[in-house]
Amino acid sequence: MVAMRQRGPWFDRLVDISAIPELREIVVRGDQIRLGACVTFARAAAHPQLRALTPMLAEACLSIGGPQIQNVGTVGGNVANAAACADTLPVLVALDAQAHIAGAAGERVLPVSELIIAPHHTALQQGELLTAFSFAAPPAGARSIFIKVGRRNAQAISRLSVAAIGHVDAAGLVDHVRLAVGAALPRPQRLTAVEALVHGQRPAPGLYALAGAQAVAVMLDITGRRWSTEYKEVALSQLAPYALARVLEDAPLPTRFDTP
């Protein structure tokens, strides 16, 4: 709607898909989750099982715009719009979510990380529709977090965001870790080099700091130095260690949804 007002309609037909029941479903079977593309941010954030299994997804949805945007905007729209700063993207990528796509030629499935090819560009072909996202919940006992840095607390576009999942085994070593960043790279992706550095290690401030430095190195490797690098390298070097510490240690997680 905002784009239409800015540049006028660039299409000859507009189809409202928001009431198609299949696209609005949230299905949780064990640890397998299927989220319809037309699920609004507000519904995803309010879903008790989603909140329990993937708190970072609810956190991301509640960080988007304000209540008006959360009541109307959808996860599918957020992904298809493919803004580099889209808040559901790092979360879905950290979860290794698959995008389900329907078209006249049939259905296909693509990892969300491959669906986004550049800012505001996706691999969707003309006439294709995102129908759902599917993913496994993080392993039992894992903690997850989404943190966004914006200029204010509401109606703020992410300057940088981080989605992290972590679990420590009985011996005190990291046996599951995922880290994805938003608004830092042209397309959302897991920072697998950082994950490899942390996996198998004992959580400690020194490890988090190394991970932060590695995250910055990965970002610079992909983007080079840009006008925003001066800010983002400092922010990421702090945000990545903070997120890892929160998911790998026992302290209560900061949350936007304290009341059920």
Ligand X SMILES: Cc1cc2nc3c(=O)[nH]c(=O)nc-3n(C[C@H](O)[C@H](O)[C@H](O)COP(=O)(O)OP(=O)(O)OC[C@H]3O[C@@H](n4cnc5c(N)ncnc54)[C@H](O)[C@@H]3O)c2cc1C
Q: Which residues bind ligand X (CB under 6 A)?
A: 2, 37, 64-65, 69, 72-74, 76-78, 80-81, 86-87, 124, 129-130, 155, 157
CB of 58 to ligand X, least distance (A): 14
CB of 107 to ligand X, least distance (A): 13
CB of 125 to ligand X, least distance (A): 10
* Three-class DSSP category at 124: coil
Q: Which is nearer to ligand X, 50 or 129 (CB)?
A: 129
CB of 70 closer than 8 Å to CB of 61 = yes
CB of 91 to ligand X, least distance (A): 10
CB of 164 closer than 8 Å to CB of 176 = no
Q: Which is nearer to ligand X, 7 or 225 (CB)?
A: 7
Q: Which is nearer to ligand X, 81 or 134 (CB)?
A: 81
Encoded tokens for 145? 């977090």
How far is CA 139 from each of CA 30, 132, 144, rounded to the nearest angstrom?
11, 22, 10
CB of 144 to ligand X, least distance (A): 18
Q: Which residue is nearest to ligand X (CB)?
A: 77
How far is CA 24 from each of CA 83, 140, 162, rounded to the nearest angstrom?
22, 26, 27
CB of 186 to ligand X, least distance (A): 16
Q: Which is nearer to ligand X, 35 or 86 (CB)?
A: 86
CB atoms inside a 10 Å sphere around CB 107: 11
CB of 144 closer than 8 Å to CB of 138 = yes
Q: Which is nearer to ligand X, 78 or 237 (CB)?
A: 78
Q: Which is nearer to ligand X, 84 or 177 (CB)?
A: 84
Give the whole-angstrom CA distance, residue 77 versus residue 39. 9
| Half-sphere CA count of 30, side-chain side, radius 13 A | 3
